[in-house]
Chains A and B, each alone.
Chain A
Amino acid sequence: MKRLAAGLDQARTRRSRIAKEEAIGAALAAIAEDGDEALAIAARLSTGRALPVGDGRALGVGWSLMLDVVRGATGLDDVILGACARVTGELAEAFALLVRRDPASESRSGVRLGDIARAVNALADEPGRSSKRAILDGLFATATPLETKYLAKALGGELRIGAQQGVVEGAIARGFALPVDAVRRAAALVTDPGDLAVLARRGGLAEARLAVGRPVAFMLATPIETVATPLDAAGLVLEDKIDGVRAQLHRMDRDGGVAVFARGLDRVTDAFPEIVDAAAALPAGVVLDGEIVAMAPSGRPRPFQTLQPRLRKSRPSAEDVAEAPVSLVAFDLLADASGPLLDQPWRERRTRLEALLAGPPGAIRINPVSSLPPHEAFDAALDAAFTAARARGHEGLVLKRVDSPYDAGRRGQAWLKVKRAHATLDVVVVGAEQGHGRRAGVLSDYTFAVWRGEDLVPIGKAYSGLTDEEIDSMTRRLEAITVEVRGGLRLVRPEVVLEVAFDGVQRSSRHASGFALRFPRIVRVRDDKGPDEADRIEAVDAIFEAQVATGHREHATAAPKRARKKQRPTNQLSLFGDDDDR
């Protein structure tokens, strides 16, 4: 682990992507001499994960358990450890700095990668907290400070070194002197970085195949609001863009089982028993790509907010299922009994998909397709189709080229998603918090509000949309107008106006306004506007009512009862990633 920790630390301090890839690649190449087990776990840890991609088990190492471990290792209490984690921005770094206090810690023997691999397996198999704690205590007892830092980060699921999956793929290419394109192509099919690294070391990238039971990277659509360049309508089909969560269903051929994988490639099979039951009727070897959506008895998809309670349950009760039954709306077929179909044109895959799902719609159903009228002006026809899709309760449209293969892991021009943001809102910043990782030292998370009468009522938080320079500037500005500090939250004088875009409005008990914006992002800082000119709650209400009228929201659905404290440790929403992932 020493070589890996040093490589990851070097990658953290390097600014360029190439330098990061070189640092991690050199570490992986050196580790490869110790065998495939060490290489596989090293590659996984480099992406901030411990278990293989697609492994159905959970590690069960959350903040609370890690805090127990740090408390035991340092003898410090929660007041001090909490403050340390606040200052560093994360517990793993604080843990390493505390370990470093012992001058002998640098000369510790270190942890062997093989031991980490075995400990990871044991952690996933052990249900008991005390057993997990004992495994972790043993693991960290001999770790150097640097090993402590990166091991704790990886077990926590996030490295925060600016090295995402793509960087690790680049590192594998550099480490084993292979063309990066070949690694990326293989990575779309061999999605576990451990398996990928081992395949690369053996020179076997060309052998990478879709394997039923192991998720492949999802093909992604490029978002557009309008079509900038003329497209050939005859070569395109239209699909409704469904407001659900992307999923891949595998009907295994060996044991007859079914696996469902979410956008982040995590196995979420147990969360959707009605889909699993329906999949039993599919032939072995089938792999479907689609969107899971809550379904009304009429067969019309229900708004995303009705799906949310299901996403928080990894094993829903019969009552949960009855309350919000879901369906997989399939729109692609990646494999069938004849084998992988990724290289087949969409047209061929679609023909087979329609044959496969020809029966009456159930918990697995097919997403209809249509074509644009050939003689109409493209833009006008697209507008009409978009409006019709919205009227059917969908988010928008996806345009697909009929001759396109399934380009796993790529976001290209073969699929285009047409989605239009609602009109933006001008909101007033009323609070700010420091971000995490690279943004730990700056105020990058903003709570914003709209006017209700004479009061400002919060309606959401935004984290994205500003450049680093703008965030630096906002930090200074918000520090200067801070009126109160409550823990990590600074309440600020309502002076700064932001223009935020969003994908919808939903009822929420989280904010005093009673509403929340979906996917809010900052369009710009409205220095030209004073706080009095910000939008009022009536404007938000009007947007919500318009959504209700088109079926995008429901009045009757209770606001999700989700106490933040309860939601965080389970971290289940993140399993599904951004639901807008097609």
Chain B
Amino acid sequence: MLGVGVAEGNLVVRGLGLALDPSRPAGAAFVSHAHAAGAPCGGPVLASRETAALARASGWRTLEWGETIEVPVDGGQGGGSARLSLAPAGHLLGAAQLVVDHARGRLVYAGDWCGHPDPTLAAGAVVACDELIVGAPFGLPIFRFDPRVDALAAVVEWCAGRLEAGRAPVVITGTPGNAQAVVHALSARRLSVVADERVRADCEAYEALGVAVGRPGAFEGAVQEGAVAVVSPATRATSVRGRKGVDVTYASAWALLDAAVEQRRADASFVLAESADHDALVALVRGSGARRVMVTRGEAAAFAHVLRREGIDAEAIPLPAIDDRGAS
């Protein structure tokens, strides 16, 4: 019988033996987006073609959009079967929701869902279902995000202004995802862009997947005159911050929080969210019509509490703490 629970520190669909975005070693797994890849999996791994490409994974069982596969429930021991398919989750190129249709209804794992599109990705879809598992890293009501396109425009304006002032702007932002959206927006404004190795590799991957974002030059650690540098948060602080003539901005959903900006030691910040905020998550849950909602990530218990206040049957699924801030 299908059910949702926690095994070995991972969220799992029981009956399918499928771990969802596992952070610990797992058997079979579904990876909803490239940021969620990483834990070693001993069994087959399901993902969208784009996610597998961005994760540089080989041997994964990729699903095309619209494709359905049938898998046995309880190993075929009288449990019948379930049909698995993908639905867009927004968030970043290839991010997918897992839709599980089975005898008792439909279960959807929304992953890290985002309803705001930008030129590099489509918005997440709202899928009608009976049971919904939703990640809520930004589920608290303090999180209210402006549309991504507005935030991207603001980042570009800031960079252009810094260049005009003779400064060297550096944008710290997560890759893949935000970084490619920023590179695309800067290129569209015809600004010269350089990027660190990780950002460049992900830009190449986007291009290979048919999404034109531009191919930035190499950022070798030294600031280049007349160019905007786009770097991932993993770039060593000393390579960009505090350099003469350099202005650093941090573009992330976490930039809404003072402490996150201070930790990046940025001169400016932009709330460039690739996840749903509080209102969008509540709207997703309502739009899905789910009778039962399970919440993971972030302040899951508090968001489940919010949903219950709204009359929705919701519970938090406790998972080992994952610090989401490092990724973006």
Partner of B141, one of A13, A76, A482: A76
Asked if A442 meets B263 with Cβ closer than 8 Å, knowing A83-B140, A84-B140, the reply is yes
State the CA gap A485–B299 with chains docked (Å). Answer: 13
A128 to B144, CA, bound (A): 36
Question: Does the CB pair B267–A13 fall under 8 Å?
Answer: yes
CB-defined contacts of B259 to chain A, threshold 8 Å: 88-89, 437-441
Assess whether B258 is in contact with A80, with CB atoms less than 8 Å apart.
no
The answer to whether A79 and B142 touch across the interface, beta carbons within 8 angstroms, is no
Is B2's CB within 8 Å of the partner chain A?
no
Question: Which residue of B242, B263, B299, B306 contacts A438 across the interface (Cβ within 8 Å)?
Answer: B263
Do A83 and B325 have beta carbons less than 8 Å apart? no
- Count contacts on B: residues with CB < 8 A to the other chain: 32
Q: Are B299 and A83 in contact (CB under 8 A)?
A: yes
Residues of B within 8 A of A485 (CB): 320-321
Asked if residues B141 and A98 are in contact (CB atoms below 8 Å), the reply is yes
Which of A80, A89, A98, A482 is in CB contact (< 8 Å) with B321?
Answer: A482
Residue of B nearest to A12 (CB): B258
Per-residue contact bits, chain A 413-456, to B (CB 8 Å; 1 contact, 0 not) = 00000000000000000000000011111100000000000000
Which A65-84 residues have C-beta < 8 A from chain B? 74, 76-77, 79-80, 82-84
Using Cβ atoms and an 8 Å threshold, which residues of chain A touch B237? 469
B261 at the interface (CB under 8 A from A): yes
Q: In the complex, what's the smallest C-beta–C-beta distance from A508 to chain B, in angstroms?
A: 29
**A209 within 8 A of partner (CB):** no
CA distance A476 to B327 in the complex (A): 12
> Of B140, B266, B268, B269, which contacts A87 at CB under 8 A?
B140
Contacts of A12 in B (CB 8 A): 258, 262
Give B230-281 interface residues, CB cut-off 8 Å to A.
237, 242, 256-263, 265-269
Contact at A15–B257, with CB atoms within 8 Å?
no
* A537–B234 CA distance with the chains assembled, in angstroms: 40
Is B201 at the interface (CB under 8 A from chain A)?
no
CB distance from B222 to the nearest CB of A (A): 20
Q: Of B256, B260, B301, B302, which contacts A97 at CB under 8 A? A: B256
Closest to B277 in A: A101
Q: Does residue A3 face the partner (Cβ distance < 8 Å to B)?
A: no
B135-175 to A contact mask, C-beta < 8 Å, 1/0: 00000111110000000000000000000000000000000
Q: Determine whether the beta carbon of A86 is less than 8 Å from that of B299.
A: yes
Determine whether the beta carbon of B267 is less than 8 Å from that of A479.
no
Bound Cα distance A309, B320 (Å): 40
Task: Please determine whether A88 and B263 come into contact, CB atoms closer than 8 angstroms.
Answer: no
Contacting pair B257 A87 (CB below 8 A):
yes
Q: Taking the complex as formed, is B323 at the interface, i.e. its CB lies under 8 A from any CB of chain A?
A: yes
Chain A residues whose C-beta falls within 8 Å of the C-beta of B143 in the assembled complex: 97
**Contact among B144, B261, B265 for A100, CB-based, below 8 A:** B144
Contact of B257 among A14, A74, A93 (CB under 8 A): A93
Partner of A84, one of B141, B263, B266: B141
Alpha-carbon distance A568/B266, docked complex (angstroms):
33
> What residue in chain B is nearest A437 (Cβ atoms)?
B259
Bound CA span A84–B257, Å: 11
Which of A88, A98, A442 interacts with B258 by CB under 8 Å?
Answer: A88
* Inter-chain contact A79/B305, CB cutoff 8 Å: yes
Q: Complex formed: what's the CA distance from A101 to B143 in Å? A: 8
Instruction: Tell whether A400 is near chain B: CB-to-CB under 8 Å.
Output: no
A441 and B325 form a contact (CB under 8 A): yes
- The reply to whether the CB of A94 lies closer than 8 angstroms to some CB of chain B is yes
Q: How far, in angstroms, from A482 to B298 measured CA to CA in the complex? A: 17
Q: A490 in the interface, Cβ–Cβ < 8 Å?
A: yes
Query: Of B141, B256, B260, B301, which contacts A441 at CB under 8 A?
Result: B260
Separation in Å of the B325 CB from the closest CB of chain A? Answer: 6
In the assembled complex, how far is the CB of residue B327 from the closest CB belonging to chain A, in whole angstroms?
13
The residue on A at minimum CB distance from B269 is: A13
Q: 27 A–B contact pairs at CB < 8 A?
A: A13-B261, A13-B266, A13-B268, A76-B141, A77-B305, A77-B309, A79-B305, A80-B141, A80-B306, A83-B299, A84-B140, A84-B142, A84-B302, A86-B299, A88-B142, A89-B258, A93-B257, A93-B258, A97-B142, A97-B144, A98-B142, A100-B144, A438-B259, A440-B263, A441-B259, A482-B320, A482-B321
Question: A residues bordering B, Cβ < 8 Å?
Answer: 12-15, 74, 76-77, 79-80, 82-84, 86-89, 93-94, 97-98, 100-101, 160, 437-442, 469, 476, 479, 482, 485, 490
Told that A13-B267, A101-B141, A440-B258 touch, could you supply 16 new A-B pairs with CB distance under 8 A?
Answer: A12-B262, A15-B242, A80-B141, A84-B140, A88-B258, A93-B258, A97-B256, A98-B142, A438-B262, A439-B259, A441-B259, A441-B260, A469-B237, A476-B326, A479-B321, A479-B323
- CB-CB nearest 3 A-B residue pairs: A440-B259, A83-B302, A97-B142
